[in-house]
Amino acid sequence: MPSPLRFEIRDRIATLTLDRPDKLNALIPTMREGFEEALAKSAEPGVKALLLRGAGRAFCAGGDIGWMAKALAEGRWDEMESLLDLGAFVAHALVTLPKPVVAVVQGPAAGAGMSLALGADLRIATPEAAFSMAFVKIGLHPDWGGSVLLSRLVNPAIAGELMLLGDTMDAARAQTLGLVNQTVPADRLDAAVDTLSRRLAAGPAGTFARIKATLLRNQGLDAETLRARLDAEGAQMKAAMRHPDAQEGLTAFMEKRAPRFA
């Protein structure tokens, strides 16, 4: 079976690519080893920045709903929770990585996929990009750091709207809200990423690290408080998974109908 992640370092820029294009790069527990290895290598001195990308037409559709529905129906709680724990690890590692992280979003970034994009310091998107905190639509709580990271970037009313309604927004609105730094046509995306990569590769690594630490501190966070907030988010998601609404939401999604929540 091919690896669900690809990782390379070229010209001092690391690139981590989600590589399940047939599943819109949906997240599964077997990605753990690839994430851990990629994030460890990205922290090494020879790397100046990390790019997050998705293969094919999507950035990341979030958790693999088919896998989740089956695991939930079979009561495989350990596997479900391992995916949540992986998300907390990845979110914490991205935010505390002493290197700039850039998410390149060329299509859907939904649920945990949007959370993953929010873990980056900068986001470049095409007009076709679509962002959604879609968890509520299947009776679940945001995970992979989504509730914590979104609250760093927008005001509470907007964060509440995006999480409570789960509506999809296009790249234009995401840029207006400050969730996207730059929008470029799809045929110019790679050129824009290359230009930014060259700037970061030529930049001062030590200063990058200090700036990231300052940004975190200015929001009242450090590595420990960030971990505590991610753990609290995870606890809410684990509780939501055990509520009947989650089973109904996942079942309805698989059956392509509107859920009937309690």
Cα atoms found within 13 Å of the Cα of residue 122, Cβ hemisphere only: 18
Contact 117, 131 (CB under 8 A): yes
Q: Does residue 223 lie within any of the structural domains?
A: no
The pLDDT tens digits for 126-167 are 999 999 999 999 999 999 999 999 999 999 999 999 999 999
Q: Does residue 90 lie within any of the structural domains?
A: yes
Domain count, the chain: 1
Calculate the CA dihedral of residues 7, 9, 14, 20 and round it to 10 degrees. Answer: -20
Find tokens 């999604």 and name the residue: 253
The pLDDT tens digits for 38-53 are 999 999 999 999 999 9
Q: Does residue 208 lie within any of the structural domains?
A: no
**CATH number, position 132:** 3.90.226.10
Write down the pLDDT at residue 23: 96
**Parent domain of 109:** 5-186
Model pTM score: 0.96
Calculate the CA dihedral of residues 22, 25, 28, 32 and round it to 10 degrees. Answer: 130
The pLDDT tens digits for 167-184 are 999 999 999 999 999 999
Please give the Cα distance from 74 to 86 (Å, whole number).
21
Contact 157, 186 (CB under 8 A): no
